[in-house]
Amino acid sequence: MNLKITNLEFPEVNKMEVEIVERKGIGHPDTICDALAEKLSSELSKFYLEKFGFILHHNVDKGLLLGGYALPKFGGGEVKEPIEIFLVGRATREYKGIRVPVEEIAIESAREWLKENIHEIDVNKHVKIHCLVRPGSVDLVDIYLRQLKVGVPLANDTSFGVGYAPFDDLENAVYHVERLLNSKEIKKKYPEIGEDIKVMGVRNGEKIVLTIACAFVDKYIKDINDYVEKKKNVEKLALEEAKKWTNREVEIHVNTGDDIENENVYITVTGTSAEAGDDGEVGRGNRVNGLITPYRPMSLEAAAGKNPVTHVGKIYNVTANLICKDIVKEIPEVREAYCYIVSQIGKPINEPLTIDVAIRSDEDKNKLAPKITEIVKSHMDEMPNIWKKLISGEILVY
C-alpha cells in the first residue's frame, strides 16, 4: 500500500479570516441532474445484478436539464413549456442475448425520483425525459469484464479522489440549513417552500452570513404581503438551524433579488427554477460530501452516474471522505484530516498508485501512523464492496 502520512502546514480554514461555502439544494437544476444520473446508475446496477449476477459496464454521468417556460402568479400560475431532461452516457444494452431496457429504466427512474423529491411537480405535464445512452467502447468494456477473472474490480480510469474531515461550523451550518428546509417535515408543514434552495455561506472573521435563494410555490401564496411573511418564516427557520452548528454571530438573507414594491419576487409553479429560470448539468453542483468548498481540496469529477464498481472518479472521492471521517473519529489527537488517492487505469481499485493522508495534530505523526495505516487499509479492503452502499442510496454523492 503506497501510503504517505504528512502534516497539514497551512492554517485551519475555520480560523482563516474569510471562508466561503455553498450548497445547491435538492431542487436546484444541477442537483436534479446529479440525482437523476445517480438514480439511473443505481437502477441499471440493480437490473444487471438481478439478471446476470453482477454489475455490467456503464457510465451514465452526463446529463442536461433544459429549463422550461412558466408563468407563476400569486394563487397559482402555469407551466407553458415543459422542462426537458437529457440523460446521456454509456451502458451495456445486451449481454448473452438478453436485452437491457436502458431507455425504459432511464425514463421510469427519473419520473420516480422527481415525484418523490419535488413535491409540486407533475411529471406528466411539467417534464419531458430523453434517454441518449449508447453502448460503451470495446476497450473499456473489456477492462470491466476482466475483473471477473482477476476477482477484484479494475480501475477504468486514471483519476484521483480527495476528501477531508471534519466539517467546520460554516460548512455544517450551510449543509444543515438546506437539509432542514428541504426535509419532508418542513414541506408538509410549509408547502410553500419549494425544493430549489441554494445556500451561500460567507464567514468574515467571527460573523457568518447565509444568503439563501428559495423558490416559493405560488399557489400557496395569496399576495405580496403573504409572501413577505412566509419569507420571514424561512429566515427564522434558517437562523434557528444555523445556530445549532456555530457560536458565531449569524445573519440570514433570503431572496435578496426581490423587488417587493413592484411585486417582482421569487415565486414558481413547481418549486424549482428549472421550470423557467435556469438550466442544469451533471457535475456542476455539490461535490460528493454535499458541499462546494473553494477553501478546501476538491475534485472536478462528476461522480454522479459513474458506475459504482470500477470508476475511481466516484469510488475514490467517496472513500477519501470516509477515511478522513474515521481518522478524526477514532484518533482523538487528530483535529483534521485530508486524504488524496490516485489510480491507474487497469489496476485493482484497492491498490492505488498513491494515498496521501495529511493530518493536523499536536502529536508526532509517526506515533499516529500505525492507527492511520490500519484505518486506510480497512477502507482499501472494503473498497470492492462499496458499490452496495452506493446503489442502495446509503451513500449519496451530491
Mean pLDDT of the chain: 95
Cis amide prior to 101 (ω within 30 degrees): no
SS3 track for 257-299: CCECCCCECCEECCCCHHHCCCCEECCCCCCCCCCECCCCCCC
pLDDT digits (tens, 9 = 90+) for 297-319: 999 999 999 999 999 999 999 99
Across the range 193-203, mean pLDDT stands at: 98
Q: Name the pTM for this structure.
A: 0.95
Query: Within 13 Å, how many C-alpha atoms sit on residue 243's CB side?
Result: 10
Q: Which of 92, 90, 88, 68 is nearest to 80 (CA)?
A: 68
- Quote the DSSP letter at residue 11: P
Domains and CATH numbers, the chain: 3-11+158-167+285-391 (3.30.300.280), 29-150 (3.30.300.10), 169-279 (3.30.300.340)
Q: Are 175 and 287 in contact (CB under 8 A)?
A: no
Query: pLDDT-derived band of residue 189, with 50, 70 and 90 as boundaries?
Result: very high
| Residue pair 342/352 in contact by the 8 Å Cβ criterion | yes
Amino acid making up residue 108: E
Residues 227/221, Cβ–Cβ less than 8 Å:
yes
Cα separation, 112 vs 30, in Å, equals 18
Rounded average pLDDT over 190-210: 98
* Position 241 pLDDT exceeds 70: yes
| Model pLDDT, residue 273 | 97
Q: What pLDDT, on a 0 to 100 scale, did the predictor assign at position 38?
A: 98
Nearest to 28 by CA among 293, 266, 175, 214: 214
Q: How confident is the model at residue 146 (pLDDT cuts 50, 70, 90)?
A: confident
Closest CA to 85 of 62, 104, 101: 62
pLDDT above 90: residue 161: yes
pLDDT at 141: 66
Mean predicted confidence (pLDDT) in 329-355 = 96
Say which residues have a Cβ less than 8 Å from residue 381's Cβ, sequence separation at least 6: 350
Sequence-distant contacts of 366-369: CB under 8 A, at least 24 apart = 368/5, 368/331, 368/333, 368/334, 369/5
Please give the pLDDT value at position 140. 62
**Average pLDDT, stretch 201-219?**
98
Residue 35: pLDDT band (50, 70, 90) is: very high
Q: How confident is the model at residue 152 (pLDDT cuts 50, 70, 90)?
A: confident
